[in-house]
């Protein structure tokens, strides 16, 4: 089943996208800062979400990890 049709998998993909974008922006901010518009602007926006909501994002990561561990 595709991640688009499974809510749990879709949330996991979005969470990983936000966390990865924030990590890349912390390492190399120039790459994401010059691409604020267009299709690549999605990664810049995800990086902003990951930076500003980092305590909540870490709680979501822990929740998803526990949920994946218990669910399987």
For the entire predicted model, the pTM comes to 0.80
Q: Give the span between the Cα atoms of 45 and 23, in whole angstroms.
A: 13
Average pLDDT over residues 18-36: 89
Domain ranges of the chain: 29-72
Q: Give the span between the Cα atoms of 43 and 13, in whole angstroms.
A: 13
pLDDT at position 2: 62
Q: Which residue has the higher pLDDT, 43 or 38?
A: 43
């Amino acid at each position: 089943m595709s991640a688009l049709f499974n809510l749990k998998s879709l949330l996991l993909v979005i969470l990983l996208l936000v966390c990865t974008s924030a990590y890349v922006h912390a390492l190399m901010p120039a790459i994401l800062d010059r691409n604020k518009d267009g299709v690549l602007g999605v990664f810049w926006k995800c990086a902003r979400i990951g930076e500003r909501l980092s305590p909540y994002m870490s709680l979501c990561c822990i929740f998803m990890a526990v949920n994946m561990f218990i669910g399987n």
